[in-house]
Structure formats: C-alpha cells, structure tokens
Amino acid sequence: MSGHFEPIPGGGAAVALDEVEISILRSLAVQLLELIGPGDEPVEGEDPLNALFAEGPSEPPADPALARLFPEAYAGPDADEADEELRAASAEFRRFTEKDLRSRKRDDALCLVRTLDSLTAVGEGGAVLKLTADDCLHWLGALNDLRLTIGTRLEVTDEDENDDLYRLPDSDPRKPMVMAYLWLGALQETLVETLMS
C-alpha cells in the first residue's frame, strides 16, 4: 500500500505514509491555509444572518496562485475593454461565491491537517492513514489545490509535458517543488482510482 491509496471496507481509503511524507503533507497544507487566509469571524453580538449574506471581494486576487485557486468565472485576466460586460459579470459572480469557495478550500486543507495529526502510531516505518468517504472528498480537494498552487509557482501550463519536470537536474532549485508536485499528483490519482473502484 505504500505511496498509494487503497479502498477500505465500508467506504473510504487508506494509505501508508512515512514520517517524512506526513511532515511534507502537513507543511504544504499549513502553507495552503496561510495562502488562502483566515475565515471571517462573526462580530460578537452581530446577527448571524448578516454574516451569511455578507458579500465577498469583486476583484480577482493579485497573487497568481490565488488567482488560479479562485479564477474568473467569465472573463479571463487578459480580457480587453470590449469584454467589460464579461468582466462585470465575473465581478458579480465572485462577490457572491468566493467566500464560500475559500471556506470550502480551508475546510479541505484543515481536514488534511487534522487527519494527519490524528495518526498516533507513527514509528520508523510510518503509519497507515485511514480516511472516511467524507475525508476522502476533502483530501481530493486539498490535493488538487496544492497541485494547482505548486503548478502555478512552477509556471506549469496545460500544454506542458511532465517530461521536462522529470528531467530537471538535482542542482535545479525547483527540483524539491517539482518532486512534491509529481508526488501529490500520484497520490491524487490513486485516491480517485480508489474512490471509483
């Protein structure tokens, strides 16, 4: 089972992780949480319905990784003046959806951290992490967000072939990030296969 997810009876999945893998996953998830930012805490004494209907931002994030995690709905970042109507529609859509999307992404990353923190018998050989079906969905979201973020930092595009990433020399400073990107992709792929089996 080492390095890939397998189904467990009753739904869910399990994966064997060593101490280094656990540490890397946890560190990446914490960094993702820092990137996404804290949630909005309701003001003490405020009507909870006000927080529920509060609007989010209308402008896309300036950070390319955040822009990838929270993309424009209708107009891309390179839209010209003729696309002003699409730009306005994207801003309106963002105002009413980004807060919930950020909250979901935060919940996914927190689930990853909490399930890793719940491992009690991490010995020299590592531990077997068992996820419920619900945890699996959070993990899929978190793994996807981590790959999108790292891929953006590495400037990976849809047209890129992973072959170039495999051929980086060990001296390349991007090598650790590339290895994490490829490893997360393999974890994500085996989790998807497990859930579809």
Domain assignment present for residue 87? The answer is no
Residue 146 predicted with pLDDT over 70 = yes
Q: Is residue 145 part of a domain?
A: yes
For 6, 9, 122, the CA distances from 1, given in Å and listed in that order, are 7, 15, 16
H/E element, 67? helix 64-69
Q: How far apart are CA 55 and CA 51, in angstroms?
A: 9
Residue 18 and residue 3 in contact, taking contact as beta carbons nearer than 8 Å: no
The boundaries of the domain holding residue 40 are 6-44+101-196
Q: Is residue 138 part of a domain?
A: yes
Instruction: Determine, yes or no, domain membership for 153.
Output: yes
40 Cβ partners below 8 Å, 6+ apart?
Answer: 51, 54, 99
Q: Please indicate whether residue 119 or residue 1 has the higher confidence score (pLDDT).
A: 119
Q: Out of 47-51, 59-63, 113-117, which region has the weakest mean confidence (pLDDT)? A: 47-51
Check residue 44 and give its pLDDT.
Answer: 65
Q: Give tens-digit pLDDT for 106-128.
A: 999 999 999 999 987 666 678 89
Entry pTM: 0.84
CA nearest to 15, candidates 128, 120, 109, 117:
128
For residue 91, is it within any domain? no
Residue 155 domain-assigned?
yes
Q: Are 92 and 58 in contact (CB under 8 A)?
A: yes
Number of domains in the chain: 1
* Residue 1 confidence class, pLDDT cut points 50, 70, 90: very low
